[in-house]
Amino acid sequence: RTSFYEQYGVICDVIQNHLTEILTFVAMETPANISDSEEIHRNKMKVYASLERLGKRSAVIGQYQAYNSEVRQELQKAAEYTSTIPTFAGGCTLH
Out of 18, 41, 42, 46, pick the active-site residue: 18
Told to judge if 18 belongs to the known catalytic residues of this protein, a careful annotator would answer yes
pLDDT of residue 95: 54
CB-based contact 59:90 (threshold 8 Å): yes
Q: Which residues of 37-53 are buried (b: 16+ CB within 10 A; e: fewer)?
A: eeebeebbeebeeeeee
Residues of the chain with pLDDT under 50: none
pLDDT of residue 81: 93
pLDDT of residue 60: 86
Radius of gyration of the chain (CA): 18
Degrees to nearest 5, angle at CA 44 with 38 and 47: 150
Each residue of 24-50: pLDDT tens digit? 999 999 999 999 999 999 999 999 999
Give the predicted TM-score (pTM) of the model.
0.61
